[in-house]
Structure 1
Amino acid sequence: MLAILIIVPLIAAALLALLMRKLNSRLVGYVALTASIITLLLILGSFLNQSQVQSINWFSIGSYSLQISTLTAPLNMILLLLVGIMTPLIITYSIGFMHVRSEQSRYYFELCLFAAAMMLFAISADFITMFIAWELLGITSYLLIGFWYHNYGAAGAARKAITTILIGDMMMLAAILIIWSTYGTFSFSVILQQAGFHSAAMSAALTLIMFAAFTKSAQFPFHEWLPDAMKGPTPVSAFLHSSTMVKAGVFIVAVLLPLFAAYNMLHILLIFGIITAALGITNALAETNIKRVLAYSTLEDLGLMFVALGTGSLISAMLLLIVQTFYKALLFMSAGSIISVNGNEEDLRRLQNSAKYPSIFIPTVIAVASLAGIFPLSGFFGKAAVAASASASIPVYITLVIIAFASNIYIFRWLFMPLRRKNIASKTAQGLVHATIPRSMKISMYVLALLVLVGAIAYLYLPVYLLSYNPQPIIIGPVEVMISLALFAVALAIAYYAFYLKDYVIFPTGSLHKLLHNSEMTNDFYSYMARLCGIAGGVIESFDIAVYGFIKGAAHDVGSFAEMLKGIEDGSTRTYIAALVIGLAFILIIIIL
């Protein structure tokens, strides 16, 4: 059953690759959609076989057989189900969004591969299977982010993403080798049993795994590739930021959470999570691109997930992971629809009133309200659970409340900006007086809006479903509800006045803008470090050339001397006697002196 889950999207990808130039451009989307629906049905059927392990022998080295192992434990099934639900919704949205785009067959081929890689990652039972899926995720995300490779920005964003991810790949590979040399196994379950036995090797491996997870989940200081990934198609952004690759780092840390707790590394996760969330918020407050604001919002969400893991709360992290999947995908789909009716304009200052499109505006408001953590929407329970998990530390709790308030400000700013009558539309948008949204895009948005509304059910059932992991209980009481409503009311009033009624304070300028939009400083720092590495590389290369030249010259001199000595060997007895006498005389001189 588990093998079929991966095979179905792979077969669809192979079919699309073989018939890439023969299939109708619209038909390719339905081929991918059919495969994704079949896969979702198989996933739902696999819930009947909980905690089942399946292994396939890959190859053998001596007496050891390397296996591809999969597992249907509760944690694995949560991520698998999210990917299974999101894949057909993303493809359905893409059928409408990509209907005028070129190279659709390649797009759906890459999308199916990406989904298959994520599903394999979700049900991995050991490091080998996980690493194969980990690498496939990196490759396919590179292809999807750079899908419009003829656009220099998209190509550059893809290179930036794969470069950052490759750093994590090397760290993950090193960690796997350390674990194998220490324990002689790749199995997660066997390694987790060693949580009570500390070793320096495992500590080093966990450190490498943690930073590898940071590269995949865009945590500081590896976060800047994520906003640039917005150069890809909007459905890719929705998929990437909701249930797929950016969740991979969070998930692998969640799987190994007992080890991180045993080695006293949770506080590191907490610190990096808070830093990343803060960076996401400050940049979102100053950003003008409708998709990049949501990208920085994803940084905040991912940071909060690591904060939850840093407090040791598996339930809080997974609850936020679940609810964020739905509201973030809906926000990106809403952004894509707004962009479409505005002639592909992405600048918040030039977007026209989206309220005149109820099919866009209503789902957008639902998603915004959920991200803002308004009770009783699913987003409230996800973010309140994270805050509740950190309530034992007053400074951390206050920090999370400030983060929640700031996130309300930027998302209401994001909502109100396109509603302003003062916005100056682009010439292309001015010509789209009666723009329409394809039905397939509306269907995906409506389904996601429904999932956002009912997603709070996860708060009730998740603790029971994850009972085998002995999770810390999370209780959200009236205090959290009152704080949420107070933050919502104040932020809404400020945002409505500042970003809708007035023109000032909309986009900070000068020093304040540079402080908030610190991604520019981060990129400048990376560029500076790259130049330093280039200079260091040049110095090392010059040293290598000098050493090589010296060795080559010495070898040439020795060869020349050998050729000279070779001329002495002429077969003449007189020459040999003369050489012997000269040699003896030279030795005597050395002895006497």
Structure 2
Amino acid sequence: MESTQLALLTLLTPLVSATVIALFLRRAGALASYLSTAAAGVIAVTGVMLAYGGHRFEVSHEWFAFGDFSLSLGIKFDDLAALMLAMVGVVGFCIHVFSLGYMHDDQAKARFFGGLSIFMFSMLGIVLADNLFMMFVFWELVGFSSYLLINHYCHKQSAADASKKAFIVNRIGDFGFLIGILMCYYAFGTVNLSEIATEVAGGAMLSAAIPLLLFCGALGKSAQMPLHVWLPDAMEGPTPVSALIHAATMVAAGIYMLCRIEVLMVADALNVIMWIGTITALYAALCAIVQSDIKKVLAYSTLSQLGYMVAAFGLGSLVVEHDGHEMMIAAGVGAAMFHLITHACFKALLFLGSGSVIHGCHHEQNIFKMGGLAKKMKITFVTMTIGVLAIVGMPFFSGFYSKDAILHLAQAKSPNVFGVLVFTAVLTSFYMVRMWWITFFGEARSEESKTAHESGLAMTVPLIVLAVLAIVAGQTHGPLSPYGHHFDGVWSQIPHAEGISVYVMSLAILGIGAGLAFALYKPSASDGLATKSPALFTGLTAVKESFDVAYNYYVTKIQDRFAMLLNFLEQILLAGLIVRGLAGFVGLFGIGARALHVGSLHAYVYWFLLGVIMLWGFAGGLF
């Protein structure tokens, strides 16, 4: 099969699955789940075949033309797209299999798996798109499918509110993204990614406005401040949705898009992006400390890790020595994509592990009502431990390598950013060990945790697969590497630090964070930080809620009142003065006109003569 045909098969398979489910299988949940999972399996197989089979190509087809203006749909499949496709396919398939067990008894299973399929189609479109317009179309489809999946439990008001919040917040970012695309077309005469790169290489003038407007799209999708508020609320969706959309794939789309438009970046834009990512990483880590919901701990952790990726991209290029010569590498792209891949593996593992815990504890999500699960859920415990070790940067686990690349780049480019990211890494170790310690150890603290049980094979096998990936995904080269030399176009950009100091720093970060967690918390029903330092706990809670408070104040005190003013003006000016006023004037004219129809021929003759005189005067220039 040719490369283009294989890529189209990969892209269209989930669309066919979603269509069949929507038209024929809405009442056949079991069959719909198997069809969607089979489609995800096809994506995983064909995606790996494309990524590892040497398929690298670019093809485009004109969609429509209007004069000199034309729009094309096409596929740009280079090392960056291949790496992303392999990750989306493999992780997506693991999550589909897990969902077979997790959603087994759900009455709306067909709708759920149909939503997963339409999401996979949308995400693959972003990965394969060769131009910004096509990317934007699939970008909006991802937002639509995210809205459906977050709102799966639509009978719950909190889920409905969360889905609307996610949809509205992302539209704000997408508006800036759309303006950036229009400005890009105005500046270069094209939105094709390869043609833009050629224009830039030919010396086209660049401004900070275009990349920053395009970054607005990533600001929403990748939940960066101040558009981060939707992601924690999105945990109202089923746990597999949290794993697929809000940990591994959708939120990573913003990072992928930034790497796609790296050629447009100028120093001022990179500086803004760097600091937004850095501040988001720190803020989200502080918020995670005061969370008691196991999924919201992971949600804020996702925010923080996305901040790491955005900061890494913003740090930009780095000069390195190679074969005795200095050369410039796109280190920001390499470090951001490296952490994106490792994060997808260990965060999907952690979310699915939390889903296994929630399922085993009869849908209890409060970590302070768990405890004693290490003995009752051994597979979940071991795999989640691997995920925790990966995210906190334990040497020889995947997160250690990717986080080290970001910290090394920050140390070389910006000592201030380096200091903030190191402190954030300590906080990451602190809140993740806190969650793990309270959830799995001590005595059972509720009836749900006392009767907890291990999940079935459909849920534990994906955990094992992702646990293996959480270990080996950081090995870009060597006998344990799952990549070979198939993605060197991306991996060659990764900055590496050498020496024992790397391991010492990572162990020190882990030791400080974990030590504080063990010192402050005991596996009990109370929050150790709230007990020992209530002022700090209250302050961090206020920090967490500050953005929602500010937005709610803006909506109720400013936006709603402005809308009321517009409604008042519409009623008075448009509906009243213009619509009803003109209608009244026409009515009065009609009454006067009717009065002229007296039914007398003599009267009509006089009116006729008056008209002739007026016409003669107008023709003669009298009027």
| 1:497 and 2:519 correspond | yes
Contact 2:443–2:523 (CA<8 Å) still a contact in 1? no
1:272 aligns to 2:282 (yes or no) = no
Aligned with 1:149 (options 147, 154, 161): 154
The alpha carbon displacement at 1:63 in A equals 6.1
Structure 2 Cα separation of the partners of residues 37 and 340 of structure 1: 24
Aligned residue for 2:476, secondary structure, equals helix
How far does the alpha carbon of each residue in 1:129-186 deviate from its partner, in whole angstroms, 9 at most, with x for none? 2112101101111111111111111111111111111122222222222222332212
Structure 1 residues 55 and 455: alpha-carbon distance in aligned structure 2, compared to 1, 3 A threshold? same
Report the alpha carbon displacement of residue 122 of structure 1 after superposing the two structures with TM.
0.7
Query: Is 1:256 equivalent to 2:264 in the alignment?
Result: no
1:542 equivalent in structure 2 = 568
Query: 1:118 maps to what in 2?
Result: 123
Q: Aligned-pair distance for 1:38?
A: 1.9
| Pair 1:553–1:121, CA change in 2 (3 A) | closer
Partner residue in 2 for 1:42:
46
Residue 507 of structure 1 aligns to which amino acid in structure 2? A
Conserved? CA contact 1:56–1:69, under 8 Å? yes
CA contact (8 A) 1:198 1:263 kept: no
Deviation at 1:352, TM superposition (A): 2.8
Please identify, of 349-358 and 504-513, the stretch whose mean Cα deviation from structure 2 is larger: 504-513
Shift of 1:317: 0.6
| Distance in 2 between residues matched to 1:100 and 1:114, nearest whole Å | 22
Residue pairs, 1:378-457, within 5 angstroms: 378-392=398-412, 393-421=414-442, 424-425=445-446, 427-430=447-450, 432=451, 435-457=453-475
Q: 8 Å contact 2:368–2:439 — kept in the other structure?
A: yes
> Displacement, 1:565?
7.0
> Which one is further off, 539-548 or 204-213?
539-548
- Give the superposition deviation at 1:14: 2.4
- Of 332, 335, 349, 1:316 maps to 335
Check 1:65–1:568 CA distance in 2 against 1; reply closer, same or farther (3 A cut): closer
1:170-319 pair list within 5 angstroms: 170-195=175-200, 197=203, 199=205, 203-260=208-265, 262=266, 264-312=268-316, 313-319=332-338
Given the superposition, is the C-alpha separation of residues 60 and 258 from structure 1 closer, same or farther in structure 2, using an over 3 Å criterion? closer
Structure 2: distance between partners of 1:448 and 1:304: 22
> Residue in 1 aligned with 2:544?
519
- Shift of the alpha carbon at 1:212? 1.6
Change (3 A) 1:203 1:469: farther
Distance 2:581 2:134 in 1: 52
Q: Does the CA contact (< 8 Å) of 1:55 and 1:68 recur in 2?
A: yes
Counterpart of 2:388 in structure 1 is 368
What's the secondary structure of 1:193's corresponding residue?
A: helix
CA deviations over 1:338-372 (Å, ceiling 9, x no partner): 11121110011101312112111100111101111
Residues 174 and 216 in structure 2, CA contact (< 8 A), matched pair in contact too: no
- Mapped to 2, the partners of 1:543 and 1:28 lie a distance apart of 51
* Aligned-pair CA distance for 1:36: 1.8
Unmatched 5+ residue regions in structure 1? 581-593
TM-score by length of 2: 0.85
Separation in 2, partners of 1:66, 1:190: 13
Distance 2:313 2:120 in 1: 25
Over 3 Å counting, the alpha-carbon distance change for 1:293 and 1:469 in structure 2 is: closer
Paired position in structure 2 for 1:588: none
Deviations 1:514-554 (A, max 9, x none): 43132322111111111211101211222233333344576
Aligned partners of 1:254 and 1:288: how far apart in 2? 35
Q: CA deviation at 1:105?
A: 1.5
For 1:471, which of 493, 511, 514 is the aligned residue? Answer: 493
Distance change >3 Å, CA 488–CA 374, structure 1 → 2:
same
Q: Which residue of 2 aligns with 1:583?
A: none
Structure 2 counterpart of 1:403, one-letter code: T
CA contact (8 A) 1:10 1:116 kept: yes
Change in Cα spacing, 1:468 to 1:394, as seen in structure 2 (3 Å) is closer
**Matching residue of 1:9:** 14
Tell me if 1:135 matches 2:121. Answer: no
Equivalent position SS for 1:457:
coil
Q: Is the 8 A contact 1:90 1:239 kept in 2?
A: yes
Distance 1:556 1:166, change over 3 A: closer
Is 1:506 the equivalent of 2:529?
yes
**1:313-344 deviation per Cα after TM superposition (whole angstroms, max 9, x unaligned):** 21111110011011101101111111112111
Change (3 A) 1:195 1:489: same
- What is the CA-CA distance between 1:215 and the residue it aligns to? 0.3
Q: Tell me the alpha carbon deviations over residues 411-458 of structure 1, each in whole angstroms, 9 at most, x when there is no partner.
A: 011111123536631x4444x26x231111110000011111111212
The 1-side partners of 2:270 and 2:484 are apart by 21
Q: How many residues align?
A: 572
What SS class does the counterpart of residue 530 from structure 2 fall into?
coil
Query: Secondary structure in 2 aligned to 1:288?
Result: coil
Moved more, 102-111 or 11-20: 11-20
Q: Distance in 1 between matches of 2:30 and 2:392?
A: 37
Indicate whether 1:344 and 2:363 are aligned.
yes
8 Å contact from structure 2 (residues 224, 303) kept in 1: yes
Aligned to 1:72: 77
For the residues of structure 1 that align with 2:160 and 2:587, how far apart are their CA atoms? 53
Match of 1:589 in 2: none
Matched residue type, 1:527: N
Measured against aligned partners, the alpha-carbon deviations of 1:369-428 in whole angstroms (never above 9, x if no partner) come to: 111101011101111111101113222211111111111100011111123536631x44
Change (3 A) 1:545 1:453: same
CA RMSD after TM alignment: 2.8
Q: Aligned partners of 2:398 and 2:528: how far apart in 1?
A: 31
Partner of 2:503: 481
**TM-aligned CA distance change 1:573 to 1:328, over 3 Å:** closer
Percent identity of equivalent pairs: 27
